[in-house]
Structure 1
């Protein structure tokens, strides 16, 4: 039996195969790094030693047949254990001579999870494809009266707005830091907060063919996002950023910069929301000479009735600052006016979403105070949505950015100079002629 289980493994995974010190184990890696192969091998070795039931999860059940189940079968045959370990497909399982077994389920059929009992190991393959609610439900399914419990999650590093990144690494919106992903890329293996992290690259797989590596390298030229994921194994922003000039700075530095503007233009914009949307207010300052936009204050809440919101933003009523809001909320704007607020509808017209988006993109810099955490969350990595042909939709985005709408409304009557148009005209703008 000992001779039969000898098999060659990639050196970067040798310690991982026998490390069961942490309950949660997270594997992040590029394409072909062998993270799935070594996870399957790790489970086989464990179930040969101890009588356990392991549950393997994918978002769609039918994908198991050609991925995880066939992978287990391949490894078992390589180890020459196929006469002892059986891999039936109906029901889809892996059965060991000591009574251990591996069962396969999909989150697209959650009712079938109810029949799962005494599971001490769960492997979520391509965990980024599973919904966050599903992950939390699976944590509750992980239970056994006597054995230690383990959950292994493997994934390619997708977008930083995916729950797998927000939960196991960084959630800027909620100011939660578990592990800086840059630290993982540098150290390759990290243990922290009861979780084992493992990072792998295609280079770590000594069995990978050079032709495949060449294909991964070629991605850098035609698909940088996929190259980052597949070749470099790194999380990041997927898609084309709407505001690449957006940057975050300490609040004190932002306020000092605003004070030094020769002729600052101040504006306030508001987007209305209630249940899923948010009431978002931003205070803005524009350096009209340098074409810099500063965002230095925000209000961001939902589930608020208008009367409660009025109390919380009463400083605007007292100061008399003009707030420009969504013209589709005329009734709400009238209510605030009756309470003494200086509020009016912003200009809105056919194609205004696209026009306003292009306007904001014309700023040379968009500088946001680090105290405006919701604005940073929505705008820093905001990307354009794409249609079925993978073409950018210039007035639709990856999320519904309420602070972006508030900026639109606040600056509805201000036009950023388009340097291209200015050059084509070949003469100073009207604003500059007036200053002369």
Structure 2
């Protein structure tokens, strides 16, 4: 019943009744006062068997559903309409349903005082910001409710409402929410829930969630514990993060040193990673990174000079021949990489027994720690595709393109020194 904050963010595991709670909350609000509520999902057609059906069930259970077909809606009740989906109350309140897959239809909606974004993680960040701008009413208080299962930490709902490592911004520590279960900030009411909070769930359902720990610990964390993190098999489960001093202590002359560079500009990043390979242990150390976007080739060259990269051998993306030639003209020892596929490069990285990243490389850590394979609409993994565009991972590929993890002779032992 709390309506004190503009934003309400509900996150939790499977079966924790987040959606039911929000729908009931909105029904009660619409019965109490005249409101126009916008309910959003990424795909409009998914409303039919989810949010729209849920509202109908709740109204029916409260004996507030008018399905008589008469012209006038009975006092204190509501009528559910289809084509388009809409729920109209006797006091003039309306709940309308839209999808972000048809954004043009949002522009004609006015006087929205409450928005519910269901499965918020599926909506794009630009869409969320557009919806905030749609909250407009002359007199009524404005509210946006977002509900979602937790996803990986690269999703916008995590970086916006919790921790944005890339921009070094922390809005709220999610671990604190898991402990306290509900927190109010200046603008947002946060709520965390688990299956245990739903008293109507059968024990057999909870037992199924508990059993996930034995065969899919990542999904168990999301579904049972309601916590953010990689959902799916991690690309680099052998990843470790070490203190800078501990990594520096391993950078001895018996290591093989490699440097890779990925190119970007306005939307994607330029990334350089410096690596050291322990041939005997098959351990890969990442001890230095460069990570930026929006810079021209001359600006990047200046940054590279300041970092003392003129003397080291660098392998770059072979698709950027023009940039590579420019950097060569500026005196850098940079060559195009071989044309290995994304799948081949990923398999190579997985053959390292350990991949150790220095804490001096926060962007590499951020991109690699929750890196998982992208899935198609049927839930099948797409080889060579990931949940994010990992620029540092690409730079690793290029730098190691002439290194074969299973081979400890020949070219692998040829280049030493940093």
Q: Name the TM-score, length of structure 2 as normaliser.
A: 0.86
Distance in 2 of aligned mates of 1:316 and 1:216: 50
Instruction: Name the counterpart of 1:9.
Output: none
TM alignment of 1:103-142, pairs within 5 A: 103-142=96-135
Instruction: Evaluate the alpha carbon distance shift between residue 391 and residue 101 of structure 1 in structure 2; reply closer, same or farther with a 3 A threshold.
Output: closer
Q: Secondary structure of the equivalent of 2:301?
A: helix
Instruction: Evaluate the alpha carbon distance shift between residue 298 and residue 70 of structure 1 in structure 2; reply closer, same or farther with a 3 A threshold.
Output: same
The answer to whether the 8 A contact 2:222-2:231 is kept is no
Distance in 2 of aligned mates of 1:108 and 1:117: 19
Instruction: Name the counterpart of 1:3.
Output: none
In the TM superposition, what is the alpha-carbon distance from 1:291 to its structure 2 partner? 3.3
Can you list the C-alpha shifts for 1:81-129, whole angstroms capped at 9, x where unaligned?
3343122314533333333222222222222222222221111111112
Distance in 1 of aligned mates of 2:51 and 2:232: 29
The answer to whether the 8 A contact 1:316-1:341 is kept is no
Q: Choose from 87, 90, 94 the match for 2:79.
A: 87
Alignment pair present for 1:56 and 2:45: no
Q: Which runs of 4+ in 1 moved over 6 A?
A: 428-432
The answer to whether the 8 A contact 2:310-2:333 is kept is no
The answer to whether the 8 A contact 1:85-1:94 is kept is no
Q: Choose from 19, 44, 47 the match for 1:36.
A: 19
Instruction: Name the counterpart of 1:362.
Output: 351
The answer to whether the 8 A contact 1:337-1:343 is kept is yes
Can you list the C-alpha shifts for 1:282-325, whole angstroms capped at 9, x where unaligned?
12223334433222222223343333322221246775222222
The answer to whether the 8 A contact 1:26-1:153 is kept is yes
Distance in 2 of aligned mates of 1:40 and 1:277: 39
Distance in 2 of aligned mates of 1:235 and 1:215: 20
Instruction: Name the counterpart of 2:416.
Output: none
Q: Secondary structure of the equivalent of 2:403?
A: coil
Alignment pair present for 1:159 and 2:152: yes
**Higher-Rg member (1/2):** 1
Alignment pair present for 1:298 and 2:281: no
Instruction: Name the counterpart of 2:185.
Output: 192
> How many aligned residue pairs are there?
403
Instruction: Name the counterpart of 2:69.
Output: none
Distance in 1 of aligned mates of 2:198 and 2:14: 10
Alignment pair present for 1:146 and 2:135: no
Provide the aligned C-alpha RMSD in A.
2.9
What stretches of structure 1 of length at least 5 have no aligned partner?
Answer: 1-17, 423-427
Distance in 1 of aligned mates of 2:321 and 2:79: 65
Distance in 2 of aligned mates of 1:417 and 1:93: 61
The answer to whether the 8 A contact 2:219-2:232 is kept is no
Instruction: Evaluate the alpha carbon distance shift between residue 44 and residue 302 of structure 1 in structure 2; reply closer, same or farther with a 3 A threshold.
Output: same
Q: Choose from 307, 315, 331 the match for 2:298.
A: 307
TM alignment of 1:373-384, pairs within 5 A: 373-384=362-373
Can you list the C-alpha shifts for 1:325-354, whole angstroms capped at 9, x where unaligned?
2334444333322222222233x14x4544
Alignment pair present for 1:403 and 2:392: yes
Distance in 1 of aligned mates of 2:158 and 2:315: 36
Instruction: Name the counterpart of 2:6.
Output: 23
